[in-house]
């Protein structure tokens, strides 16, 4: 409703760094749009977290779940979003 005051970006980052120095920044919304839909933002984020190797879930397993969880007409967009998130983190890390 516009009444809440959100913390500034730098404040959020400072708070997060109290818990970890391993922070990856990416424009997930822009990547989702590139994949074909802003609604695929969660798939960008899934690809990004898989790319960090901080989770035991492997890329092939995650993509299999994506393929089995969406209607056929949405699979290509979600796969593309996943791959964009994965690729963006790989670029940052290497």
pLDDT at 1 over 80: no
pLDDT per residue over 23-41, tens digit each?
999 999 999 999 999 999 9
Contact partners, residue 72, CB within 8 Å, separation at least 6: none
* Every domain of the chain and the residues it spans: 25-93
- Residue 41: name the closest of 77, 90, 87, 89 by CA: 77
pLDDT per residue over 9-21, tens digit each?
999 999 999 999 8
Q: What is the pTM of this model?
A: 0.87
pLDDT of residue 4: 87
């Amino acid at each position: 409703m516009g009444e809440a005051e959100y913390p500034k970006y730098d404040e959020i980052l400072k708070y997060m760094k109290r818990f970890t120095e391993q922070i990856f920044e990416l424009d997930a919304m822009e990547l989702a749009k590139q994949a074909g839909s802003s609604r695929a933002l969660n798939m960008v984020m899934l690809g990004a977290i898989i790319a960090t190797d901080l989770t035991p879930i492997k890329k092939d397993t995650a993509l299999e779940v994506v393929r089995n969880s969406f209607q056929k007409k949405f699979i290509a967009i979600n796969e593309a979003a996943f791959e964009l998130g994965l690729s963006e983190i790989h670029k940052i890390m290497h």
